[in-house]
């Protein structure tokens, strides 16, 4: 078994607190036609650089039943800015159109095999994985983006077509694992393509 969920794998359940004061599990998003789960955070320049593009994508596909969920699994011992309190502040200020969850134990990030921030997983109505990887080809500088793989995957999937590029390598900072060096990655973590 590879470190990261493979295409066709089923979404794994979770129970995580959100910035809106509620706790969410996978079943809370059962009405969504498509569920996009991204492993993200507060501090990463790749996340900050692409948040507005992700907002556009989330808003664009919302009417077609696409739900976005962000999960922050980064260790606060590595980056204090990734604390739950900072998550709440960011959501209050930015009003992003997704549910923002905190994975303090990092168990969800490990279960999904999150490689970087951001790392996107797109699940179909049956919650099988149909896309994994990056959103765009230059998340750090949105003015240099030439390809939006996430938009393309959602467009094709919602049109009933096979996704032409279902795997891409996520671009960003690695997940900050607790008790490890800031650049450490699990031994079995590897590129998707």
pLDDT tens-digit map of 55-88: 999 999 999 999 999 999 999 999 999 999 999 9
pLDDT beneath 50: ranges in the chain: 1
pLDDT at 153: 98
Cis peptide before 166 (omega within 30 of 0): no
pTM of the model: 0.97
The rounded distance, in Å, linking the Cα atoms of 192 and 90 is 30
Distance in angstroms (rounded) separating the CA atoms of residues 126 and 147: 27
DSSP reduced 3-state for 16: strand
Helices (H) then strands (E): counts for the chain: 4, 9
- For CA atoms 42, 46, 48, 53, the dihedral sign is negative
SS (H, E, C) 142-177: HHHCCCEHHHHHHHHHHCCCCCCCCECCCCCEECCC
Q: CATH number of the domain at 9-174, please?
A: 3.40.30.10
């Amino acid at each position: 078994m590879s470190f990261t969920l493979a295409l066709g794998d089923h979404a794994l359940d979770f129970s995580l607190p959100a910035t809106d004061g509620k706790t969410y599990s996978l079943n809370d998003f059962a009405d969504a036609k498509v569920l996009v789960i991204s492993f993200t955070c507060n501090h990463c320049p790749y996340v900050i650089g692409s948040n507005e593009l992700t907002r556009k994508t989330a808003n664009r596909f919302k009417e077609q039943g696409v739900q976005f969920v962000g999960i922050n699994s980064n260790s606060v011992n590595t980056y204090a800015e990734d604390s739950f309190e900072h998550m709440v502040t960011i959501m209050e200020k930015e009003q992003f159109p997704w549910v923002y969850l905190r994975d303090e134990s990092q168990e969800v990030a490990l279960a999904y095999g999150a490689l970087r921030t951001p790392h996107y997983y797109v699940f179909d109505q049956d919650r099988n994985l149909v896309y994994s990887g990056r959103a765009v080809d230059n998340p750090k500088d949105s003015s240099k983006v030439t390809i939006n793989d996430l938009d393309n995957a959602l467009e094709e999937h919602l049109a009933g077509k096979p996704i032409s590029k279902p795997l891409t390598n996520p671009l960003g900072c690695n997940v900050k694992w607790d008790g490890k060096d800031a650049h450490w990655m699990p031994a079995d973590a590897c590129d998707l393509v």
